[in-house]
Amino acid sequence: MAVEPKRNLVVILSDEHSPKALGCAGHPFVHTPNLDALAARGTRFTAASTPSPICVPARAALATGRELHAMGRYHDNADPYDGAVRSWHHALREAGHEVTSIGKLHFRGLPGDDHGFTEEIVPMHVVDGKGDLLALIRDETAPPRKGAQKMRAAAGPGESDYTRYDRDIAARAEEWLRARAGRTPDRPWCLFVSLVTPHFPLTAPPEHFRRYPPGVVGMPKLYARDQRPRHPFTDDYAATIPYDSHVRDEADVQRMMAGYYGLVSFMDEQVGRILGCLDECGLGGSTRVLYASDHGDSVGARGLWGKSVMYEESVGIPMILAGEGVAAGATCATPVGLTDVFATVVDAVGCAEAPPPCSASLFDIARGAAPDRLVLSEYHASGSREAAFMLREGACKYIRYATYPPQLFDLAADPEELTDLAKDPSSAMLIARMEVLLRERLGTDPAEVDARVKARQAAILAANGGREAVLARGDLPFSPPPGVEAAWS
């Protein structure tokens, strides 16, 4: 492993940014000039995945550098990170580095919890320290979630609690950076800025919403009902989280798309504010930048909205690393994920902490280390009746469910995932190989992991009064930012 010159690091995380919704990724119309500029002076990882395509588990894995099955907890939005598993925040703070978070964390956030940061500024945690308890009901009795109609109705130009929150996050990040201008700290610092857009509600500031009229956005891939591929897992998701059920016509679809892409451009604007402040404060040369998202969004593809499935729009994430020692204008096709943030952070700032086994430094990977590595994602949360696992090796993507038929895609030949190769008898040997690799990674049968997770979820459900008590608590379409009351339905 190459020895990195030690530098400050800014980690910027967005929420629900599809890896395809970037100009530098070749998107035909999305406006992301600031992220495109970051990619132009750094390396973009084109095969990056989330450890789980939903907020709370993804953020727990990012913090700890560990996969969900290995931790045995943090599987869903009702099992939030509580600081019990060591994080890179803990490691940096104990080594004397300043490590500050600004914005959304989605941890448990109860009094006495120590997430490891030196300071948490305007943190957004799960509601009541409990989060989405309805996610614990995963069998055929799971009630349809109530956010679908609200998401359609909210799509349009305007401001939301989330856009106001992100403006505040960016402003506080600017002030934090200005306070460090001209200082020479004993050790490099790390600033974690976590924005909440483009997560729904799909209400985008007018100047960004208006960039995306119907003639620009068109219609999503495979949206027509006779085009949508069918699989039991996505059928379960669409029945429990029926975002598309309240869509009335193409105008609704295009308005929702305009809201999403408008929020991507708004989020890019906030990233630009933060990066611009780095340079204005004279910190650009001594600070590296890592950008990623916690997971993606289907944005109507295949009739799906939101995350929670293993197609690339949802499980894939954008990831860009820039600064000293990073090749400019480069791309890296080695599979990577949010668990690699742990090793990357300690490498960047010079912390001696050894990262967890599945975490590797993006500095080394960008230089060509471990080109054949495997990356795993797993899903055990709302909208699923059984576990889903995605194992990626190069362009080969294997999706395994506890009992449902597997899926297999060649992302080099078929980047839009239009052809499921698992249905082809000639893929039998490749599927067998990927199955062996998956079981080695999990250390057991996938169905055993599914059973263990469901046992933990049943215990959490019982501790919260059981099914009827959780149903009576109500549904919360999205977590409110600090100072905003939760809107139950």
Q: What is the pLDDT of residue 129?
A: 96
Q: What is the mean pLDDT of residues 136-156?
A: 88
Q: What is the mean pLDDT of residues 472-487?
A: 88
Q: What is the pLDDT of residue 276?
A: 98
At 236-257, the pLDDT tens digits run 999 999 989 889 999 999 999 9
**Token pair 């079981």 in the structure block, residue:** 439
At 7-49, the pLDDT tens digits run 999 999 999 999 999 999 999 999 999 999 999 999 999 999 9
Q: What is the pLDDT of residue 146?
A: 82
**Model confidence band, residue 411 (pLDDT cutoffs 50, 70, 90):** very high
**Model confidence band, residue 3 (pLDDT cutoffs 50, 70, 90):** low
The DSSP bridge partners found for residue 14 are: 293
Averaged pLDDT score across all residues of the chain: 96
Q: How far apart are CA 336 and CA 319, in angstroms?
A: 9
**Model confidence band, residue 2 (pLDDT cutoffs 50, 70, 90):** low
Q: Is the pLDDT of residue 91 over 70?
A: yes
Q: How far apart are CA 148 and CA 150, in angstroms?
A: 5
Q: How far apart are CA 408 and CA 438, in angstroms?
A: 13
Q: How far apart are CA 47 and CA 358, in angstroms?
A: 16
443-451 contact pairs (CB < 8 A, 24+): 443/69, 446/387, 446/389, 446/400, 446/401, 446/402, 447/387, 447/402, 447/403, 449/69, 449/378, 449/387, 449/389, 450/380, 450/386, 450/387, 450/402
Q: Is the pLDDT of residue 388 over 90?
A: yes
The DSSP bridge partners found for residue 289 are: 10, 322
Q: What is the mean pLDDT of residues 273-280?
A: 98
Q: What is the pLDDT of residue 489?
A: 74
At 419-447, the pLDDT tens digits run 999 999 999 999 999 999 999 999 999 99
Q: What is the mean pLDDT of residues 444-470?
A: 97
Q: Is the pLDDT of residue 184 over 90?
A: no
Q: What is the mean pLDDT of residues 101-111?
A: 97
Q: Do residues 222 and 302 make contact, with C-beta atoms less than 8 angstroms apart? A: yes
Q: What is the pLDDT of residue 49?
A: 98
At 46-60, the pLDDT tens digits run 999 999 999 999 999
Q: What is the pLDDT of residue 372?
A: 87
| Neighbour-count burial for 321-353, b at 16+ CB within 10 Å, e otherwise | bbbebbeeeeebebbbbbbbbbbbbbbbbbbeb
Q: Is the pLDDT of residue 234 over 90?
A: yes
Residues constituting the chain: 489
Domains and CATH numbers, the chain: 8-371 (3.40.720.10)
Q: How far apart are CA 349 and CA 343, in angstroms?
A: 10
Q: What is the pLDDT of residue 208?
A: 98
Phi, psi of 483 (to 5 degrees): 85, 0
Q: Is the pLDDT of residue 153 over 60?
A: yes
Q: Which residue has the higher pLDDT, 143 or 448?
A: 448
Q: What is the pLDDT of residue 148?
A: 76
Tell me the one-letter amino acid at 10. V
| Token pair of 305 as six digits | 């909205």
Phi and psi based region of residue 442 (left: phi greater than 0; alpha: psi -120 to 50; beta: remaining): alpha
Q: 9: Cβ–Cβ under 8 A, 6 or more apart, which residues?
A: 188, 189, 190, 191, 287, 288, 289, 290, 345, 348, 349
Q: What is the pLDDT of residue 53?
A: 98
Q: 36: Cβ–Cβ under 8 A, 6 or more apart, which residues?
A: 22, 23, 24
Percentage of residues in the chain having pLDDT higher than 70 = 99
